[in-house]
Amino acid sequence: MECRMQVMRRLAQIWTVLLAVVLLLLGGGLLLRWLAPGWVSLPAPLLLRTTPTDGAVGVLPRHELVLQFAGPMNRAATEAALRLDPPTPGHLHWSDDARTLTFVPATTLLPDTDYTLLLEATAQGQWWQPLPTPLRIQFRTAALPAVVSALPQGEGVALDSAMAIIFSQPMVAEATAPPFDPAYLQIEPPLAVSTRWLDAATLLIQPQTPLHAATHYTATISADLTDLRGVALGQPFVWRWSTAWPQILDLTPHEAERWVGPHQPWIMTLNAPLDLARLRAALRITPPTEYGLSSAQIGATQVVTITPTLHWDYDQAYQVLLEPSDPSLADPPPLVRHFRVAPEPGLIAFFPGHGQTLALDQDVRLIFRTPMDVAGMQAGLQIDPLVEDLHVQVAETEVRLQAQFAPSTTYTLTLNPDLADRSGEPLGITETVQLRTAPADPLLRVPAAQGHLLALPPCERVQFVVEHSNLSLLDLSLYQLDLPTLVRAINVEADQWRDFDPDRYAQTLLRRWQVTLTDPADQLVQNPIDLALPDGSVLPQGFYYLRVRSPEGPQLDLLVQISNLNLSLQASGSQLLVWATQHTTGQPLADLPLLLYAGDALLARGQTDADGVWVVPVAASPAAKPYLVLADGAQPALVRSQVAAPVPQMLLALDHPRYRPGERVNLAGMVRHPPMSDAACRMQLETPDALPLVQAACRVEQGSVRGSLEIPTLAQAPPPALQLRVQWADLVASVPVNLDTEAPAAPPQVRMNLRSRLLTVAERPYLELFSLDAAGQPLPDQALKVTVARAGVRDAAPLLLRTLRTDAHGRAELELVQLQAGQYQVVASLGDVAASAPLWVTRAGYRGWEHAPGSVEVVTDRDSYQPGDVARILITAPVANATLLLTWSHAALVEHQVQALRAGEIVELEITPQMAPALNVDAQLSAGGAHWHGAHTIVVAPPDPPDLGLTLAPGPYAPGATATMTITNPLVREVLVTMLPAETPDLLNQFALWQAGASDAGIFFTGTGDLVTPTAGEVRIELPAQRGEWRLRLYALLANGQIITEAMPLSTQQPIDLLLHAPPTLRMGDAADITLTLHNTTPISQSVEVRLLVLGGELDAASAALHNITLEAGASQDLVWRVTPRQLAQVLNLRYSLRGSAIHAQISQPIDILPNPPAAPSAEAGLRVATLWYDRATAQPISLEAMQIGQEVALDLTLIAAQALPVGQVQVELPAAFSLTAQHLPPGLSVGDLKRLNLPLAYPDLAPGVYRVRLELRVTYAGRFRVNPVGAPMIVSEP
């Protein structure tokens, strides 16, 4: 125990010593700490820099505060001396060398707040040296980004509206704007959108589908969305809007409709989908009725069907309206409709009624309670006995039945119970109507009479047939007429025959008798009537007057010719041709004396020649009386004819091949045979379905016609062509007016030439075929199909089918096998396009032709001939043998030949120069008392064309040049000049037929032409602006009223082609590259000096004004100059001078200088404008530098009104020159005149919102003018 105590005492002593040493050391340290500043030189702590710096603004709220000292610091003392106001929790972090202190806020600093960071003087360095003075650092934190405006807002937002958000801070760098992250945007109901930054602070949100109608939308921007500085919004932004109701496009039944079916669904068509529950909440039907709703989507429209659960009440008036059902939504569109349901169907009346008689020309009328339709009546109506040719006409509730009812017959009309009215409601019960028809009206007629003339052959018993019904007696009187009375009677007008009395002219009454008739009721009876003298002897040849009367009223007044002669009369120009033949044999009668009368005046006497023909000259005039030819001799006969006045004719042309709405259409041309001096000429522009658009007068003066009218702007897309209806006296025709619209590509063409369209069975058809493109150029290596079928047989199967291909020139030949006699149709097809031609094949004795009674066809092997040709002519005779009178004539020629003709025989006619320019071929056949007639017109090329005395300086001419033509013919008053490519078909044959009067329309349309009056015998003609071979055709109006034509070939070409690229307009400040391309078209080299003079602008110093170049054969070279407009200049004029051995040209190209448009309203003014360009063909965005001439593009303009704006205008700068083709604008907005380089867009008072404009444009000059414009070349040439 004692030992242990000794150890513990020893340890206590050691501990005491150690404690004393520690206390001594501590005291020494404190003494040194107190004495050191006095005798050791240590620097005071120094703050080198702070982040943020003193006075800093816009400090990010998430910013850390950093203090950097010159030396190590006493961490504890420094931390204790640091203060931040306003107080902010956080933690401190020292660098390893204790020189940098960082304060990291636990939360973000308050935005837009002044902060003070205070470091008290108690802060010490590593060796306890204090700060000399307290440090104060002040800074202001940045404001958080905010949404300045979010659109749309409120109610009634358009369904096609976009959305836009305008922020208070730049959110992206405009030059490198990243795509917007859709995770930061939430829209309810969900909506697929695309986004685009319009500028650094404006986000455009485009719905990919239209907004839902009458729908509440809520959009939320996430609080985590950061601006360009990285500052987040800090809190989510929410805005709401609601969309408008869709527009009601249609609602059936319509307002005040009376006959709504009891089971008829009501159809409402909306321009956008609508939730059916919302529609039901707003729909009010009075009186209330249970109904169901269903809908179908058709494109962008919604068709809603309102169907009654049972049915609408009969004869009940209903009201349908839409009322607001949600006060937070815009009101639905105004809708108030009234209509009445039809009453229960049924028959309420019929005419004739019970006990009444139905006249044979009267309709049966049925009156129903509800409207009926034709199909329902035909299905539910039965008539006993059956009737033929029943026609049903319905006018609302009245039904008219028209049929061939038999006279004096009782009919029963039965209406079946399932007969439905117009709404499909069945009648429900059987209705029966009985009626009786009246007896037939008395009838009396002679089928063989032609008008009042009855020609009968002499025979032992002269007899004719009378048709009659419901007559009891015929009272007949027969007079013999002398020549003066016959002439007087033949000129009696139709309405004066009742007053004609032969007793007044002392004519002999040969016989009067009566025929008692026993006609069965209402039946047509044929009764032969014998004409004889009172003693029964044969009535001699001569002229007689037969009067037939009946007690029932019908009567006849006939001039009776009893003769073995037939006379035919043909008028041509200033001559009449009479042909006399035997009635029984058809043989010509020679030496027959004839008398020619005009009205009742005797004009000439003569006799037939050996062919039975008498040709007599006459004077034609518009007031000419009918001609009458009488056979003066033992065999009397007569023939009567009217020589028609010349038909008025017009030759017309338009000034341009195509037009646009707003442009003027100028009509010009010439006239022949004017009807009278005061005949009015009117023009009317019509749509293809004859809807009038605009009218104007045209002037006809001294043989020429002129007129002008403006094409109006059409509300809908214009058709490819309109019709210009021209009326002059009784002459009416339509001229096509082609519009410059987007039309489908024209199909290829196929043409076919038959070497001869008239063959014998021993000959083979030979065809020449051509495949052409839409422009008429050869289309090589095309598959063609040729078929031959019988003509006049519907859906006839081809008798022949051949396939072949065209060669490298688009041409093919085909020879077919021999065909049997008959008429055929030959069709050549290329894909879906085809060309056809008739073909006649004949043989001796063939009579199987089809033609109307009394007529034959005159078929020629071709349509046109040259003098010296032999025309082959087929007359489709229906008899084996006949006598033919063949005449050929025009205004100054009448010739004929008479010959025997066998069926199927081909007649040949030698073509002489005197037959030009057109020949009317007329054929008359006579055989066994029957006669046939036919005619055809052919074209004969004149051996010596009409001489206008045209002289034109030898070419070639430069494209676009003006040619001067000299006309030496002194009779030329005016000239219609037309020019077409040489390969297009010439219109000479059509003109010749028009001149000959063979054109039924009376109007000859030449296409495009210009009517000019020669000045001192000269006519200046502007040539086409492209190279090519042309046909220049002139139609000349002579002083004597005659119109003649002449054509000559013409070439436009030049040794050096010049192609100029230049913008149509420039703005001040633009710099445009002007390019002149020279192409050597000759086989030798060409040297050219080219100089450019710029007026109203400056030539870039790097661009040489003078170039001396040498072009090898076929080579091209581009010369480029850069030009800029001069200040205050209005026109920049480029003047090119070209000199060389093959060219000497001065070319001037003016370029308008447009004033810079007023600046668009700035974003600060509350309006932002965004543009987006699309290629219409692909619907894809397009690069502005990639636009080409003629390209169809679309411009989508988005106008963002951040605040309410008054009426104003914005100018949208365009990257190229355009023409406007279509526009889709919100109400109130309008597009002004398109000034090539800017688009003025006027807007009304705008409420805050997003407005979208879509314009469809055609590029007329491509290229951005502030870069280097590049456009399609424009051909220029010597003036």
For residue 37, pLDDT beyond 70: no
Cα angle value 976/979/983 (rounded, 5°)? 140
One-letter identity of residue 1255: L
Query: With contact defined as beta carbons under 8 Å apart, do 539 and 561 qualify?
Result: no
- We find that the CATH architecture of domain 1164-1271 is Sandwich (2.60)
- Residue 1103: the pLDDT is 85
User: In what order do the strands lie in the sheet containing 858-860?
Assistant: 858-860, 870-875, 906-910
* Contacts for 1174 with CB less than 8 Å, ≥ 6 apart: 1180, 1181, 1182, 1193, 1194, 1195, 1196
pLDDT average, residue stretch 792-813: 88
Q: CA gyration radius for the chain?
A: 51
Q: What is the residue-wise DSSP string for 327-361?
A: TTSPPPPP-EEEEEE-----EEEEES-TT-EE-TT
- Residue 1161: the pLDDT is 47
**Cα–Cα distance for residue pair 1012/972, rounded to 1 Å:** 11
Topology adopted by domain 443-562: Immunoglobulin-like (2.60.40)
Query: With contact defined as beta carbons under 8 Å apart, do 158 and 80 qualify?
Result: no
pLDDT bin (cut points 50, 70, 90) of residue 33 is: low
Kindly list the distances between the CA atom of residue 149 and the CA atoms of 162, 425, 997, 1226, 1248, in Å, as whole numbers in the listed order.
14, 60, 78, 22, 9
Kindly list the distances between the CA atom of residue 693 and the CA atoms of 663, 727, 1038, in Å, as whole numbers in the listed order.
14, 16, 35
pLDDT bin (cut points 50, 70, 90) of residue 22 is: confident
Query: With contact defined as beta carbons under 8 Å apart, do 1061 and 1273 qualify?
Result: yes
pLDDT bin (cut points 50, 70, 90) of residue 1245 is: confident
Structure tokens at 740: 């410059």
pLDDT bin (cut points 50, 70, 90) of residue 657 is: confident
Structure tokens at 553: 């009223």
- Residue 486, H or E segment: helix 483-490
For residue 1263, pLDDT beyond 50: no
| Beta-bridge mates of residue 424 | none
Using a 10 angstrom Cβ sphere, with 0-12 exposed, 13-18 middle and 19 or more buried, the burial of residue 713 is exposed
| Long-range contact pairs involving 1174-1181 (C-beta distance under 8 Å, separation at least 24) | 1176/1256
Using a 10 angstrom Cβ sphere, with 0-12 exposed, 13-18 middle and 19 or more buried, the burial of residue 859 is buried
| Predicted model pTM | 0.58
Topology adopted by domain 248-341: Immunoglobulin-like (2.60.40)
Q: String of b and e for 979-1010 (b: at least 16 CB within 10 Å)?
A: bbeeeeeebbbbbbbbbbbbbeebbbbbeebb
- Structure confidence by residue, pLDDT tens digits, 1065-1105: 777 777 888 888 888 877 788 888 999 988 888 888 888 88
- We find that the CATH architecture of domain 749-940 is Sandwich (2.60)
pLDDT average, residue stretch 163-181: 81
Domain 1056-1154 has what CATH class? mainly beta
| Beta-bridge mates of residue 727 | 682, 732
- Residue 32: the pLDDT is 58
% of the chain with per-residue pLDDT over 90:
23
Q: What is the CATH number of domain 649-738?
A: 2.60.40.1930
For 524-658, strand residue ranges (E) read: 525-531, 542-549, 555-562, 565-572, 575-582, 593-598, 601-607, 613-617, 627-631, 638-641, 649-654
- Structure confidence by residue, pLDDT tens digits, 806-865: 998 889 999 999 999 999 999 999 988 999 999 999 999 999 998 888 899 999 999 889
* Contacts for 188 with CB less than 8 Å, ≥ 6 apart: 217, 218, 219
Sign of the alpha-carbon torsion through 718, 719, 721, 722: negative
Secondary structure class of 227 (helix, strand, coil): coil
- Residue 294: the pLDDT is 92
174 compared with 454, residue with greater pLDDT: 454
- Structure confidence by residue, pLDDT tens digits, 348-371: 999 988 778 888 888 999 999 999
Verify cis geometry, omega within 30 degrees of 0, for the bond prior to 352.
yes
- Structure confidence by residue, pLDDT tens digits, 476-494: 999 999 988 888 888 888 7
Sketch the domain layout of the chain as residue ranges: 1-41, 47-141, 147-243, 248-341, 347-437, 443-562, 565-641, 649-738, 749-940, 950-1048, 1056-1154, 1164-1271
Structure tokens at 203: 């986000």
- Residue 1165: the pLDDT is 56
* Contacts for 176 with CB less than 8 Å, ≥ 6 apart: none
- Structure confidence by residue, pLDDT tens digits, 871-911: 999 999 999 999 999 998 876 678 889 999 999 999 999 99
Kindly list the distances between the CA atom of residue 893 and the CA atoms of 648, 859, 914, in Å, as whole numbers in the listed order.
21, 21, 8
Neighbours of 619 (CB within 10 A): 9
- We find that the CATH architecture of domain 950-1048 is Sandwich (2.60)
Sign of the alpha-carbon torsion through 1227, 1229, 1231, 1237: negative
Structure tokens at 1131: 């026109």
For residue 168, pLDDT beyond 80: yes
pLDDT bin (cut points 50, 70, 90) of residue 1272 is: very low
pLDDT average, residue stretch 1107-1136: 87
**Cα–Cα distance for residue pair 1063/1263, rounded to 1 Å:** 8
Q: What is the CATH number of domain 147-243?
A: 2.60.40.3710
For residue 548, pLDDT beyond 90: yes
**Cα–Cα distance for residue pair 958/974, rounded to 1 Å:** 26
Query: With contact defined as beta carbons under 8 Å apart, do 318 and 339 qualify?
Result: yes
Structure tokens at 823: 């008429």
* Contacts for 40 with CB less than 8 Å, ≥ 6 apart: none
- Residue 818: the pLDDT is 94
Domain 47-141 coded CATH 2.60.120.40: no
Structure tokens at 840: 């006649």
Structure tokens at 12: 């206590």
**Which of 398-402, 1115-1119, 1157-1161 has the least mean pLDDT?**
1157-1161
- Structure confidence by residue, pLDDT tens digits, 590-645: 999 999 988 888 889 999 999 999 998 887 544 567 888 998 877 788 887 755 55
**Which of 1028-1037, 1125-1134, 1226-1235, 1250-1259 has the least mean pLDDT?**
1226-1235
**Cα–Cα distance for residue pair 620/891, rounded to 1 Å:** 11
Secondary structure class of 1181 (helix, strand, coil): strand
What are the backbone angles phi and psi of residue 321, rounded to the nearest 5°?
-150, 165
For residue 1206, pLDDT beyond 70: yes
pLDDT bin (cut points 50, 70, 90) of residue 441 is: confident
User: In what order do the strands lie in the sheet containing 627-631?
Assistant: 601-607, 593-598, 627-631, 638-641
- Residue 1277: the pLDDT is 29
Residue with tokens 């003392």: 77
- Residue 307: the pLDDT is 92
Q: What is the CATH number of domain 565-641?
A: 2.60.40.10
**Cα–Cα distance for residue pair 1137/252, rounded to 1 Å:** 72
pLDDT average, residue stretch 238-265: 88
Secondary structure class of 606 (helix, strand, coil): strand
- Structure confidence by residue, pLDDT tens digits, 723-751: 998 888 778 888 888 887 665 667 888 99
Write down the mean pLDDT value for the chain.
84
Q: Do the domains spanning 248-341 and 565-641 agree at the CATH topology level?
A: yes
| Helices and strands in the chain, H and E counts | 6, 96
**Of 937, 1030, 913, residue with least CA distance to 989:** 937
Domain 347-437 CATH (choose: 1.20.1560.10, 2.60.40.3710, 3.40.190.10, 2.40.420.20):
2.60.40.3710
